[in-house]
Amino acid sequence: MVLLTRVDSGSSIGVNGNMRAETKSAVFHRHLNRDFLPLAKSEGNYLILEDGREVFDASGGAAVGCIGWGNKQVAGAIMKQVLDAPYCASIYYTTRVQEELCRALVDSTSGKMARAYIVNSGSEAMEAALKLARQYFVELKPSQPQRTRFIARNQSYHGTTLGALAIGGHQYRRSNFEPLLMKNASKVSPCFAFRGKFPGETDEDYVNRLAKELDDEFQRVGPETVCAFVAEPVVGAALGCVPAVPGYFKAVRAVCQKYGALLILDEVMCGMGRTGTLHAWEQEGVVPDIQTIGKALGGGYQPVAGVLANPRVINVIRDGTSAFVHGHTYQGQPTSCAAALEVQRIIREEGLLSNVREMGTLLSELLKTRLGDHPNVGDIRGRGLFWGIEFVADKQNLTPFPVDAHVAMEISELGLTEEYSISVYPGAGSADGIRGDHIIIAPAYNVTSKEIEMIVATFGRLVDDFFANGK
């Protein structure tokens, strides 16, 4: 289905911002033969294309945008930092914005986390988290150098770099690179009630079954060899906004504790307020040893992500070599810190987390009313302003669509046409049928009830029209 402007074979954007009709794109796009819309400006909750058409941004990209676009205070903070000190060589220097950002992050955990480490992307944050976990055991007294393994979960996504990919369970993103991935990462089932729970099984029994599976995996690989168990509190891209059933994280935390392994929670997508509390783990009654954050940290204004580590981890490094053997040229990048500091100030001072909770409830109710009975909607799940709609070919048996039907991608592309002009985020199903195609809706934290009504009305019409036209 060709729906969008063919940037790479018909028109592309010239350096002066004009459309150049006959040149081909020189960009190494993610998809070389797909169609990309020329984005000219982002304002409030709208993405404005070169031709002036306005697309409502109902997902902030991949749940990145969180305060809307065009915020002048954030722009001002970035500009001030560009002029004050645009770069900071981390070997010698720090900046006020980095110090204040890390202080605010640590304080937001009421001291449960001791230090924050600022990087540029979620994948970098995950790499740092894995290495920090390993270094912790090397420097622990007495040292436990035999701890070299990680246990993570199927149908998870932790990033695209080789370490993050190795612990990830997104088969499509892994498959080409499988031979390059570290072999010391193994997987257990995610907590995915929609497809994972047996008929009639209680939440408690499901949790016990998953905790036993994790315990068995520790036993299989040798509990003394495991650095950490890694999981997303609410699974994002790999499953489409799937929170765990109550008690799951307490149960897996207990298994980690039993074997002395660390718990790493990946909050790159679900953290920094997206689910209604600043940290998603606050709603699970557990505190991780290491936590990663990303997307909504800087709200899309600058590339910025981070790692938080608790006192247990930090004290060992501090009393050991006192140096994390890791680093990037652009770590603690001042302009990114300035942007994140300002975005987080706005979230805090404008009380946006209570709006996430309130508007999240409205979004879930309206989505369920509008689409709950749709024959091709299998599940509507999520938390806060982070909702996933999973599609099924057969509602009775919950059969997913074949992967090569590209249902989610085509729905999201249809949404971008003039008829709907709404931007939602697609997630593909898996070839083994363990995961179905889904769409993520994740509007900005300052979304209004009128906008929520509009999102649901437009998305409902989009889904009706898509399936009415023959999927």
Find the binder of ligand PLP among 117, 150, 157, 401 (CB under 6 A).
Answer: 157
Contacts of residue 436, defined as CB under 8 A and 6 or more positions apart, other chains included, come to 195, 378, 390, 391, 392, 398, 400, 401, 429
Q: Interface with ligand PLP includes 128 (CB under 6 A)? A: no
Residue closer to ligand PLP, measured from CB, 167 or 366: 167
Cα–Cα distance for residue pair 254/232, rounded to 1 Å: 17
Contacts of residue 468, defined as CB under 8 A and 6 or more positions apart, other chains included, come to none
**Near ligand PLP by CB under 6 A, which window of 231-239, 320-328, 349-357, 402-410?**
231-239
The least CB distance from residue 232 to ligand PLP, in Å, is 5
**Near ligand PLP by CB under 6 A, which window of 138-146, 178-186, 230-238, 333-341?**
230-238
Residue closer to ligand PLP, measured from CB, 181 or 454: 181
Q: Interface with ligand PLP includes 314 (CB under 6 A)? A: no
Q: Interface with ligand PLP includes 268 (CB under 6 A)? A: yes
**Near ligand PLP by CB under 6 A, which window of 4-12, 87-95, 154-162, 221-229?**
154-162
Q: Interface with ligand PLP includes 121 (CB under 6 A)? A: yes
- Of residues 34-93, those binding ligand PLP (CB under 6 A): 62
The per-residue DSSP string of 233-280 comes to SEE-TTTSSEEPPTTHHHHHHHHHHHHT-EEEEEETTTTTTTTSSSSG
CA atoms lying within 13 Å on the CB side of residue 140: 19
Find the binder of ligand PLP among 118, 130, 237, 439 (CB under 6 A).
Answer: 237
Helix (H, G, I), strand (E, B) or coil at 188: strand
Strand runs labelled E in 44-174: 46-49, 54-57, 115-119, 149-153
Q: Interface with ligand PLP includes 415 (CB under 6 A)? A: no
Cα–Cα distance for residue pair 15/129, rounded to 1 Å: 39
**Near ligand PLP by CB under 6 A, which window of 35-43, 158-166, 247-255, 402-410?**
158-166
Contacts of residue 445, defined as CB under 8 A and 6 or more positions apart, other chains included, come to 66, 67, 273, 296, 347, 352, 353, 355, 356, 385
Measured at CB, which residue is nearest to ligand PLP? 122
Residues that bind ligand PLP (CB under 6 A): 62, 121-123, 126, 157-160, 232, 236-237, 266, 268-269, 294, 305
